[in-house]
Structure 1
């Protein structure tokens, strides 16, 4: 890989004046502009599932999708349609040993133009790209949406979220994280107390540690970190504030070269310092977005996928952000 980069650099230096610069890598736009969907990179493909294609806070059986697609990350030009599943938004995908997992989500029962009737799903399923089929896994102990899910080692971890019970019913905030051993012959969900009640958050794993970032009401509060081996919680620095409010609402995150990367609706892309004691700015999104997804794109970039822009509404575009090798330190936010 290093030799390829060195060769490309040499070609650029030798190019005559006025020659066009090398074209930045691209991934085709999503089949439909969506927010609050699931996405994961697996074996050279980007997979996306479900999401909300309607107006903000307006949900029905048509605006929430159950579609499933993938595209090659290296030079792919066309999305491939895969077997669909239940309509769901407020969920995510993860990958483990070449298979794709989806967990929970929110599904409206009401038709367009009728009062909202939103229900959190307990579904958990695994997609095998080789067979092209979904396989049901043990359901969650209770419906869950507006959560996030990651894989740390061989453990699937679900954090945050709430259970929506439908029209006229009060939603219940989850107080536990859930663990599922993906190597077990008969996997069973294990509940672990979590030190917060939060939704609209994001998470990413570094080794055995799961970093739970942001969420509704999390501005200025420390990042929660769960170790799947010790099953203990600790904290890391709060997300930067950049002088704006509500930056912790529904960010996106990924792990690149063993480092936590996060993007907030303000636009900046941050990286947790090597010592884990602060944040540094390593890039900026051209299109600020929330309820979006992020996946690694090679060893030095991330792909920002879909989401909702404060100015443009739902976004179909996928933006590749090159991460600075040396970041710019960011001041810690004021304590709430």
Structure 2
């Protein structure tokens, strides 16, 4: 298939009248004949076209008329080859423009690599998720010379994106950890504006192109089998992760650790950001994840009168549902008062949320109410200048919640299925915003509480206190951490952070 391009008809000594074309044609390899197809909606040149699963995708480029009057193309195009006549449709609009780029489709994403824009050559990589039709940015291509990824060539091989710029070493994008690796195989001739043709699941044909000396007529074949094996290991790890791709609550399982081996170690607005989605309201809680869904909480209104629970797709950020619940009590919004600070927890059955206004609630993964309680109605208002900050924690069948404040304080164990208390331990008034840490081993559920002057160890099954240690100061925010047989208790006061041997007070 051939689409668009440019053509000049001026004589050699005349001013260039180079103009973009809208013509589309197809070559029948059996009959060895060309035939015309319906043209592009507008002339376009310096773009890229990709054939994938019976469709043609056109992306990038500009419209040049008579050697001037350039108009950038903000929309890509797609046409279904099964339609007769061929009908070109616009892809979602981009907020960027590029030409002399390359493109390829891998794992359901249309990747657009490098090229040239008004600011010069670029290494930028974007992708269009073909199911959601949403654009996002990917880790920049690691082009090192001034050409960057200008005139690069891209192809999908073995499900992976392979990109060749003006360099001896092509690069492969590892989607498992969002990074680029250099291939062991190298080309003999550096080239740009060439084509890559997949021969099998690891071999690629490098065809034509140009160098600084002129056009190239050489063909090379490179085998990327070693890199395909590396990424297969990442894929297996990723598949294992996907079966247990959960982040169940504040600090995960309470230890700030994940079993996923392929997460990026750094990210920013420019790198390793898969998507960004604005949510309603304001929230200080952490997201929780179960499978393909991520849940967040926030409050809205001058007195936080609306309590919001959001469910988004982990793949692309699409909002799946939004639950709005009236707050049991008004809380005047300010920078000094917590706003949806307690983090929720999630398991295979549902997502469980708690707000500083006292609302405690269970929801299904689809947003249906399982049960709801108002702790302020049951036990009195939440007292204090800065609100409540402690988050929920969980076992397989129960929720835990510590409410330490200027009023009657308490520690709860709540049945997930009914929302009813399994036990309630009343506590002295003690202002704190920390979340207890639960340690589960064999048949034991040991709970460690660090809260404003005291560290306590409790049997979470029964609510019985096993031991306590007082005399601390400044331990009002940090959750305790378990490291081997040590309990690390953080404090904002110098020399009050401690390591305590678990099972003792010493």
Q: What is the Cα deviation at residue 141 of structure 1?
A: 1.0
User: CA–CA distance in 1 between the matches of 2:84 and 2:215?
Assistant: 41
Task: Identify the match of residue 164 of structure 2 among 263, 279, 289.
Answer: 263
Contact 1:204/1:254 (<8 A) preserved: yes
- The list of structure 1 runs, each at least 4 consecutive aligned residues, that deviate by more than 6 angstroms after superposition, is none
Task: Identify the match of residue 122 of structure 2 among 204, 216, 219.
Answer: 219
Cα displacement string for residues 1-58 of structure 1 (whole angstroms, at most 9, x for unaligned residues): xxxxxxxxxxxxxxxxxxxxxxxxxxxxxxxxxxxxxxxxxxxxxxxxxxxxxxxxxx
Describe how 1:1-336 pairs up with structure 2 within 5 A.
101-167=1-67, 169-192=68-91, 193-216=93-116, 217=120, 219-221=122-124, 223-242=125-144, 244-275=145-176, 277-282=178-183, 283-310=185-212, 312-326=213-227
Contact 2:2/2:26 (<8 A) preserved: yes
1:205–1:276 CA distance, 2 compared to 1 (3 A) = farther
1:314–1:248 CA distance, 2 compared to 1 (3 A) = same
Structure 2 unaligned residues grouped into runs of 5+: 232-265, 272-506
Contact 1:225/1:233 (<8 A) preserved: yes
- The two structures have a TM-score, normalised by structure 1, of 0.63
User: CA–CA distance in 1 between the matches of 2:55 and 2:216?
Assistant: 32
Cα displacement string for residues 203-228 of structure 1 (whole angstroms, at most 9, x for unaligned residues): 0112532111111145343x111133
Cα displacement string for residues 239-297 of structure 1 (whole angstroms, at most 9, x for unaligned residues): 0134x332211111111111110111022111111415011111322111111111113
Match of 1:279, SS state, is strand
1:293–1:180 CA distance, 2 compared to 1 (3 A) = same
Relative contact order, higher structure (CA 8 A, sep 6+): 1
- Say which one has the larger Rg: 2
User: CA–CA distance in 2 between the matches of 1:131 and 1:313?
Assistant: 32
1:189–1:321 CA distance, 2 compared to 1 (3 A) = same
Contact 2:123/2:148 (<8 A) preserved: no
Q: Please, what is the CA RMSD of the aligned residues?
A: 2.6
User: CA–CA distance in 1 between the matches of 2:126 and 2:175?
Assistant: 17
